[in-house]
Structure 1
Amino acid sequence: MTINCKGKLIDLSTPRVMGILNITPDSFFDGGRYKEETAILKHTESMLKEGADFIDVGAYSSRPGADQVAEDEELRRIVPVVSMLVRHFPGILISADTFRASVARACISEGAAMINDIASGNLDPDMFATVAALRVPYIMMHMKGNPQNMQQDPQYDDIAREVLYYFSEKTAKAREAGISDIIIDPGFGFAKTLGHNYELLDRMELLQQTGLPVLAGVSRKSMIYRLLGISPEEALPGTTVLNTIALLKGAVILRVHDVREAVQSIKIVTQLHS
């Protein structure tokens, strides 16, 4: 199981870590923390040293109820950061977290290696064709609606099977468009209640039927801190527990705020399976 990032084959037979770099003012955990160049570079360097294989850069907060961000504002935020990181860290593999084809194009032109789309093309009809033309790996996430309305009474009869069906349809369309490397993300916290999230995690091995690499993004999310009655700042132990469960259920990429702890989880689970 490999993906091609800028001509380099990345082996996913051993799970990998994707470190989160939010450059938004309103993200649920680290909003506004990484605005200045020095803070961005320091945080990225720290994640790379701790073992991050990818850095996921996002300029549009996708937390429930987040404000919409205009396309030109998203471009203004993200493009200079991608360019700066590529310049300062040769060989860095950047994932551009965007649902807009124009932003995807701009980020790849500045040296990003892959696209992480929370909407799987649903919010921009040009996204599939754009990713295919760019010939980069594409992360497709499951979500209903958009960040502004996704938590308004989400309903499922069988969430695990509905997510599996969603990806079977999306994968067929992505392949038809010409996208080669596809990664799927079940979208914990997106259009899902607390119960939905844990049912999906418990049955996440069903996604192995797609034959595609699975990314899990549970880091410090409300499915942890609301269940435990704590704050996102206190949710690292819970995150580590859920990351470990996700690995045991087949995840091969962990998208996290805390890289060192994710690397430790991978080492333990890998040893268990050795």
Structure 2
Amino acid sequence: MSDHPADIDFSRSPLIMGIINCTPDSFYPSSRASIMADASRKARQLIEEGAHILDLGGESSRPGAEYVDKDEELRRVIPIVEEIRKKSEIPISIDTRKAAVAVAAFEAGADIINDISALQDDEKMAETVASYGGSIVLMHKRGSPKDMQLKPHYENVIEEVKAELQQAVDTALQAGIDRSKIILDPGIGFGKRHEDNLSLLRDIEQLAALQFPVLIGHSRKSFLEKITGRVVDERIHASIAVGVLAHLKGAAILRVHDVAATLDAVMVVRAIEGDSSSWNG
């Protein structure tokens, strides 16, 4: 087995990050894998579908979600990391805002910490990621999952999100996280109004201008219901449309529930654009 954390190869962007929610309450029931057998099966499925990265989370961050304590999050996530790592070298991302969970995840073989608080919720997170040499996703949000959608407000969402992500970048760099290990996520649906989500997706190029890979997490989210009127189980087509658009606008990672469908759509776009470089697999 190779050493971890591994470097993430962005030469074949966009990378497809498959979601495994190790929780009983994530907003999309089909993504839930709250017991070991389910999570192992889900991981195998996503790998077979062609995922480049797996993203595991033990605390739901859907609007209104309650805080999960450290011990419960560890119980939900770490055995699954260990099980996946026995069988695959695929990069593993852990969706957590707790440094103690990050430590255990790195020790178990994880490569990336996907921090929805962009290093704000745990003052030890930045130094933890730096000490292990892992990658970090800095996601923009305002408030906590429990209250973030109550009254979000922006004067200029693009400029404000960029500025706040830059502050997170500065914190990461000051803590010793290597610049090549930083990934930015504008936080679609996290303390955002409907029009804010659309603006951020419309202007991904402006976020990429910060000179870091951009991750877009749009899959099956509620803003798509406002557009299509469809419930979460029926949002695959809308999600694919956003994924293709995000790819064309420069997103480096697409975090999705539907790996195979997203891969097919992006491969078609790449072929039409004349990009014959190796990518899938």
Calculate the TM-score normalised by the size of structure 1.
0.94
Aligned mate of 1:164, from 162, 165, 177: 162
Question: 1:14 deviation in Å?
Answer: 2.6
Counterpart for residue 64 of structure 1: 63
Counterpart for residue 52 of structure 1: 51
Counterpart for residue 11 of structure 1: 10
Question: 1:269 deviation in Å?
Answer: 2.9
How many residues align? The count is: 270
Moved over 4 A (4+): none
Distance 2:149 2:71 in 1: 26
Aligned mate of 1:177, from 175, 178, 185: 175
Conservation of the 8 A alpha-carbon contact between 2:22 and 2:35: no
- Alignment pair present for 1:213 and 2:210: no
Question: 1:150 deviation in Å?
Answer: 0.7
Conservation of the 8 A alpha-carbon contact between 1:164 and 1:207: yes
One-letter amino acid of the structure 2 residue matched with residue 25 of structure 1: P
Q: Deviations over 1:21-74 (max 9, x none)?
A: 001110000278412332222211111011101100000000000111111111
Distance 1:34 1:48 in 2: 15
Conservation of the 8 A alpha-carbon contact between 1:79 and 1:107: yes
Structure 1 unmatched runs, 5+: none
Change (3 A) 1:53 1:150: same
Q: Deviations over 1:160-196 (max 9, x none)?
A: 1111111222112211111111000110000001111
Counterpart for residue 263 of structure 1: 263
Question: 1:273 deviation in Å?
Answer: 5.8
Distance 1:21 1:140 in 2: 19
Secondary structure of residue in 1 paired with 2:218: coil
Question: 1:8 deviation in Å?
Answer: 4.5
Structure 2 unmatched runs, 5+: 276-281
Conservation of the 8 A alpha-carbon contact between 1:94 and 1:114: yes
Once the two structures are superposed, the pairs formed by residues 211-250 of structure 1 within 5 Å of their partners are: 211-250=211-250
Question: 1:90 deviation in Å?
Answer: 2.6
When structure 1 is superposed on structure 2, of 25-34 and 11-20 the one drifting more is: 25-34
Aligned mate of 2:100, from 99, 102, 109: 102
Conservation of the 8 A alpha-carbon contact between 2:4 and 2:110: no
Aligned mate of 1:123, from 106, 121, 130: 121
One-letter amino acid of the structure 1 residue matched with residue 90 of structure 2: I
Distance 1:167 1:273 in 2: 33
Secondary structure of residue in 2 paired with 1:38: helix
Distance 1:206 1:273 in 2: 25
Question: 1:265 deviation in Å?
Answer: 2.5
Aligned mate of 1:149, from 147, 150, 168: 147
Q: Deviations over 1:211-270 (max 9, x none)?
A: 100001100000112322111000000000011111111101100000001112221332
- Alignment pair present for 1:28 and 2:27: yes
Distance 1:186 1:75 in 2: 26
Secondary structure of residue in 2 paired with 1:254: strand
Q: Equivalent pairs: percent with the same residue?
A: 37
Distance 1:162 1:268 in 2: 34
Counterpart for residue 279 of structure 2: none
Secondary structure of residue in 2 paired with 1:246: helix
Counterpart for residue 278 of structure 2: none
Conservation of the 8 A alpha-carbon contact between 2:5 and 2:132: no
One-letter amino acid of the structure 1 residue matched with residue 78 of structure 2: V
Distance 1:24 1:36 in 2: 9
Change (3 A) 1:7 1:153: closer
Change (3 A) 1:45 1:262: same
Change (3 A) 1:75 1:210: same
Alpha carbon RMSD of aligned pairs, Å? 1.6
Aligned mate of 1:92, from 87, 90, 93: 90
